[in-house]
Amino acid sequence: MNIPRIRLLEIIASVAWASVFVVAIVYIGNKYSMQDGILQEGTLWIIVAIVGFIVAMMGTGYLLSRNEE
């Protein structure tokens, strides 16, 4: 099975950013959790992680699409 180079880069980038996102969420959950739930500051950091993940994926997709041309 021969995968084109650009598709391989897309797969690697997606897996890398998803891994960073999961590690960030686990770190935030461990740092800001309490017995009753997550702290308010932790909620803010989770939102930042989600927005950062979306921006990182959009930027990576844009750069890879420019590379495709």
pTM above 0.75, yes or no: yes
**Per-residue pLDDT at 38:** 65
**Per-residue pLDDT at 41:** 85
**Per-residue pLDDT at 39:** 74
**Per-residue pLDDT at 44:** 92
Mean pLDDT in consecutive groups of 10 residues from the start of the chain, 69 residues: 87 96 94 74 92 96 82
Domain coordinates of the chain in residue numbers?
A: 5-68
CB burial string 21-32: b at 16+ within 10 A, e below: beebeeebeeeb
**Per-residue pLDDT at 69:** 58
**Per-residue pLDDT at 68:** 63
Q: What is the DSSP string of 2-29?
A: ---HHHHHHHHHHHHHHHHHHHHHHHHH
Tokens in use for 42?
């932790």
Closest Cα to residue 22, out of 40, 46, 38, 39? Answer: 46
